[in-house]
A and B are shown apart, each in its own frame.
Chain A
């Protein structure tokens, strides 16, 4: 009796070992929870395109799409921080490359380096070195980039511009001249949707870049140019002047509702990153036909960049499935499915250009030649603590329009965070 039992047990053990071997080779099962803030038109569809690829490749894995609505992750990030610090990490989460990735999560030691994925997939050859450097802390690569966004774009309604005989403005003088014409015609010159304030920070950083230029903009981030200098004050003044030409319900709207004003023609332009391009396309518009795009005033030749990446939390509950997801995020197939819909350009150098539309082609070309400047509002240029302090200053500025007070507060925030 005992012998039979032992025999049976051994047999089961061997059989299960065989199956385990088979299972380990290809199959990943269970579930995978991916955390992001992609819920608006364009970005949600882009994410879905990547999820479709994932589900086709790994049919046994249940994909949990954990999204928290809100542009730039303003609402999502607090949820993420409380989950990560509370010991309930998602399997992978969206994080902006640069200081947000490194200062918040890298220094905090919450992430597993993904160098091994880069080696296995041969990504060292297809990602630009600059890209890898903003993902790295020392030698550790901390996340897998899915895209690059340009954030210094002025989007405009072509019909409105034509009806009023306006050319796309490239300087602030041209913009303010155009604004007078548009206001006379009863059209809001600039649409802004800054509920949660980040869109105002986004507008401000583009004004700042347009006024002080890329050298001083980059130097502001390491303290070698002062934030209470005259040129920054001039930028703040320009920003305040712009606020006179925005829709008066700006603080009740999200960026997508502001973009909708441009589609409707009640507003002529909006300054937004090229996820607005994804939004316009999701609404069935064609770039260059219904809407046009130029670098925001004064920023031609500069490419304000941010990159969405996915990382591997050190204690991800479903590590294998998370790695499978990251491999799709970084793959040519994944990026070419995601980016044309999301309205962003691939972070790889070998993407299939023919898949991208006229706007994205121009962005890919510009990325190759322009000066790259990091975004404040999107976590690339400064730490989240500093970025939040800048957001607080701008929250007051949009209401009281006190230029000198804002300059002093900016400098105080820089002193505190440098």
Chain B
């Protein structure tokens, strides 16, 4: 197939602006961040004096950064598990062709449309130690005659299982609430795409409904699960707005994330070089998730 000259010009003309924009605003700034991260820039005026890997070395020696990494790992694992598990569960329920399906679908999807800052403020109140669920629990228990003695600190708690801070739980709940509907929508679309004949055939062969889901439907949903994991994974590694508004760093950094560390280091402590180093480590973490996915999907296309 030979392209005419005119076609080729059009192709080049239409692609060039986005290539230039991505080149400058994505790759250009990544390169610039690398330069800053290797510099000695402290204070507001740029200072590109070469400082080697100093910023990265001090970063990995920093207690705060270590806590941040643990926090982010635990947050990611639980956030993904709840979103994917919950999303699948909701999608299967909705796929039973129930009445008012449209209403339920909208209700589950709504949290995604709410600004994370707004929902963070509400969740902050819900899990505040002296109001919200704590009061609710106390009142409910006293109604049935139990005097409650244990007060949950929720996101102010400094207790932990090993390196896992339990103060993260309210944040995980808030974040999952926002995204579970999104995963549900993905699964629901996929479920609707599965031909009815497959289920029929399984039924004819005498498979139970449970077995049909386990052996026929779930394997067919694998690509969706993978996409959901990738999308949510990179969201959770970059999580900032929700956590910053809801709790901030927390006592003893129990709810601190690399993104918050990066923001405060850069713009509150004015250590731009260190901030750039943190953002590059975050970029690497996201790349670990995204690149295998991209290569895989590219290979599939060719």
Residue of B nearest to A78 (CB): B267
27 A-B interface contacts by CB (under 8 A): A81-B266, A81-B268, A84-B44, A85-B44, A104-B43, A105-B44, A108-B45, A109-B45, A195-B248, A197-B249, A248-B129, A248-B156, A249-B130, A252-B124, A252-B128, A252-B129, A385-B43, A385-B269, A389-B269, A395-B251, A395-B253, A396-B64, A396-B252, A396-B253, A399-B158, A399-B253, A399-B254
Residues of B218-275 at the interface with A, using a CB-CB cut-off of 8 Å, are: 247-254, 263-271
Closest beta carbon of chain B to A397's beta carbon, Å: 8
Flag B53-74 by CB within 8 Å of A: 1 or 0 each.
0000000000110000000000
Contact A104 B44 (CB under 8 A): yes
Q: With A252-B155, A396-B63, A396-B253 in contact, is A108–B268 under 8 Å at CB?
A: no
Question: Which of A78, A85, A249 contacts B268, CB < 8 Å?
Answer: A78
Q: How far is the CA of A84 from the CA of B44 in the complex (A)?
A: 9
User: What 1/0 flags go to A93-130 for Cβ under 8 Å of B?
Assistant: 00000000001110111100000000000000000000
Residue of B nearest to A110 (CB): B44
Query: Please, how many angstroms separate the alpha-carbon atoms of A275 and B252 in the complex?
Result: 27
Is A63 close to B, CB under 8 A? no
Contacting pair A384 B251 (CB below 8 A): no
**A249, A251, A396: most-surrounded residue (chain B CB, <10 A):** A251
Report if A400 contacts B (CB, 8 A): yes
* A213 neighbours in B (Cβ, 8 Å): none
Contact residues of B between 32 and 48, Cβ < 8 Å to A: 42-45
For B42, the chain A residues whose CB sits under 8 A away are 385
Do A107 and B43 form a contact, CB below 8 Å, given A74-B268, A385-B271?
yes
Q: Please name all residues of chain A whose beta carbon is closer than 8 Å to the beta carbon of B266 when the two chains form the complex.
A: 78, 81
A369-418 at interface with B (beta carbon < 8 Å) = 384-385, 387-389, 392, 395-396, 398-400
- Chain A residues whose CB sits within 8 angstroms of the CB of B254 once the complex forms: 399
Which of chain A's residues have a CB closer than 8 A to the CB of B151?
A: 248
Docked complex: B114-168 residues within 8 A CB-CB of A: 124, 128-130, 151, 153, 155-156, 158
Beyond A78-B263, A252-B129, is A196–B270 a contact (Cβ under 8 Å)?
no
Of the listed residues B156, B248, B249, B268, the one surrounded by the most CB atoms of chain A closer than 10 A to its CB is B268
B43 surroundings in chain A (CB, below 8 A): 103-104, 107-108, 385
Q: Which B residues form the contact surface with A (CB < 8 A)?
A: 42-45, 63-64, 124, 128-130, 151, 153, 155-156, 158, 247-254, 263-271
Check if A245 is an interface residue, CB within 8 A of chain B.
no
| Residue with the greatest number of chain A CB neighbours at <10 A, chosen from B43, B153, B270 | B270
Q: B252 and A398: CB pair below 8 A?
A: yes
**A340-369 vs B, Cβ < 8 Å mask (1 yes, 0 no):** 000000000000000000000000000000
Closest 8 CB pairs of A and B: A399-B252, A388-B269, A78-B267, A108-B44, A249-B129, A251-B251, A399-B158, A251-B156
B292 to chain A, nearest CB (A): 34
How far apart are the CA atoms of A318 and B33 in the complex, in Å?
33
Q: State whether B270 touches A107 (Cβ < 8 A).
A: no
Q: Is A77 a contact of B267 with CB atoms below 8 Å?
A: yes
Q: Is the CB of A399 within 8 A of B44?
A: no
CA distance A250 to B270 in the complex (A): 27
Residues of A contacting B64 with CB < 8 Å?
392, 395-396
A249/B128 contact (C-beta < 8 A), A399-B158, A399-B252 known: yes
Q: A249-B156, A399-B252 are in contact. Are A81 and B267 (CB under 8 A)?
A: yes
A16 touches B (CB below 8 Å): no
Chain B residues within 8 Å of A249, by CB: 128-130, 153, 156
For residue A82, CB closer than 8 A to chain B, the reply is yes
Minimum CB–CB distance for A144 against chain B, Å: 20
Instruction: Report the interface size for chain A: residues with CB under 8 A from the other chain.
Output: 35
CA separation between A26 and B296, bound complex, in Å?
Answer: 69
Extra contacts, 5 of them, besides A250-B251, A384-B269, A400-B252 (Cβ < 8 A), are A103-B43, A104-B44, A384-B268, A395-B252, A399-B252
Q: Mark A186-218, 1 if CB is under 8 A from B, else 0.
A: 000000001111000000000000000000000
Q: Given A85-B44, A252-B128, A252-B129, is A388 in contact with B253 using a C-beta cutoff of 8 Å?
A: no
Q: Which residues of A contact B271 (CB under 8 A)?
A: 385, 388
Nearest to B271 among chain A residues (CB) is A385
Kindly provide the distance from the CB of B127 to the nearest chain A CB, expressed in whole angstroms: 9
Q: Judge whether A395 and B158 touch: CB under 8 Å.
A: no
Residues of the B chain whose Cβ atoms lie less than 8 Å from the Cβ of A400: 252
A58-95 interface with B by 8 A CB criterion: 74, 77-79, 81-82, 84-85
CB neighbours of A84 from chain B (8 A): 44
In the complex, what's the smallest C-beta–C-beta distance from A25 to chain B, in angstroms? 37
- Specify which of A103, A250, A252, A395 is in contact with B249 (CB 8 Å cutoff): A395
Task: Point out the residues of chain A lying under 8 angstroms from B263, CB to CB.
Answer: 78
- Whole-angstrom distance from the CB of B243 to the nearest CB of chain A? 13
Q: Closest approach, in angstroms, between the C-beta of A411 and any C-beta of chain B?
A: 15
Chain A: CB-nearest residue to B274: A385
- Shortest CB distance A245–B (Å): 16
- A196 neighbours in B (Cβ, 8 Å): 248-249
Contact with B along A261-277 (1 / 0, CB 8 A): 00000000000000000
What residues of chain A lie closer than 8 Å to B128, measured between beta carbons?
A: 249, 252
The chain B residue sitting closest to A73, CB to CB, is B268
Of B43, B128, B158, B271, which is in contact with the most chain A CB atoms at under 10 Å from its CB? B43
B69 to chain A, nearest CB (A): 16
Residue of B nearest to A416 (CB): B58
Q: Which chain B residue lies CB-closest to A74? A: B268
- Decide: A388 and B156 in contact? CB cutoff 8 A: no
Q: Which A residues are in CB contact (< 8 Å) with B44?
A: 81, 84-85, 104-105, 108, 110
Complex: A82 Cα to B43 Cα, angstroms: 12
Residues of A contacting B248 in the complex (Cβ-Cβ under 8 angstroms): 195-196
Q: Given the complex, which residues of B lie within 8 Å of A85, measured CB to CB? A: 44
CA distance A211 to B148 in the complex (A): 40
Alpha-carbon distance between A384 and B265 when the two chains are bound, in angstroms: 10
Q: Shortest Cβ distance from A179 into chain B, in angstroms? A: 20
B residues less than 8 Å from A110 (CB atoms): 44
Tell me how far the C-beta of A86 lies from the nearest C-beta in chain B, rounded to whole angstroms.
11
Cα separation A389 to B64 with both chains bound (whole Å): 11
B270 partner residues in chain A, CB cutoff 8 A:
81, 104, 384-385
Q: Which A residue's beta carbon lies closest to that of B67? A: A396
Using known A-B contacts A81-B270, A385-B42, A392-B64, determine if residue A399 contacts B251 with beta carbons closer than 8 Å: yes
